[in-house]
Every structure is written in C-alpha cells, then in structure tokens.
C-alpha cells in the first residue's frame, strides 16, 4: 500500500479527492454486493397454477408478455 500512497500524494489536491471518492465507491460496491444474498422468497409463489398450466405453457406466456404479445 505504501507505493500507492506515494503516488497519490504526488497528485494535485483535486485529483487526490477524486481518488478518495473512487475508493469510497469501491468500498460501497463491495459491501452492497456481499449484503444482497438471494432469499428465494418467491419460490412456490405460483404453485396454485401448477394444476392449470405446464411449465412450457408458462414460459410461452412470459415470452409473450416480454415482447408485447398478441
């Protein structure tokens, strides 16, 4: 880390602030990514439709919705 600090000190004050902002961004990005673990709370949400539609029929319906179906 010492080399990086030496290089940062050689920068003008406004660029040092930009480096500091970028470091803060990287820290927030890492924290945000590690905090959002999937919960799969949606699993089984459509189980009441299982007797009415096959998975293939549902896939076709979803495709129609996505492309602005007929």
**Separation between Cα atoms, residue 32 and residue 66, nearest integer Å:** 29
CB 11 within 8 A of CB 4: no
Q: What is the pTM of this model?
A: 0.44
Which pLDDT score is estimated for 65? 85
Confidence of residue 1 (pLDDT cuts 50, 70, 90): low
* Domain extent at residue 19: 2-37+46-66
Q: What's the structural domain count of the chain? A: 1
pLDDT digits (tens, 9 = 90+) for 37-69: 778 888 888 788 788 888 899 888 888 888 885
Average confidence (pLDDT) over 11-31: 93
Give the Cβ contact number of residue 53 at 10 Å. Answer: 13
**Between helices 13-35 and 2-10, what is the axis angle to 10°?**
140
């Amino acid at each position: 880390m010492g080399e990086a600090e030496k290089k940062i000190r050689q920068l003008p004050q406004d660029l040092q602030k930009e480096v500091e902002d970028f470091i803060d961004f990287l820290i927030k990005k890492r924290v945000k990514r590690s905090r959002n673990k999937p919960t799969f709370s949606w699993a089984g949400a459509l189980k009441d439709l299982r007797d009415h539609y096959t998975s293939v029929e549902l896939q076709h319906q979803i495709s129609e919705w996505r492309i602005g179906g007929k």
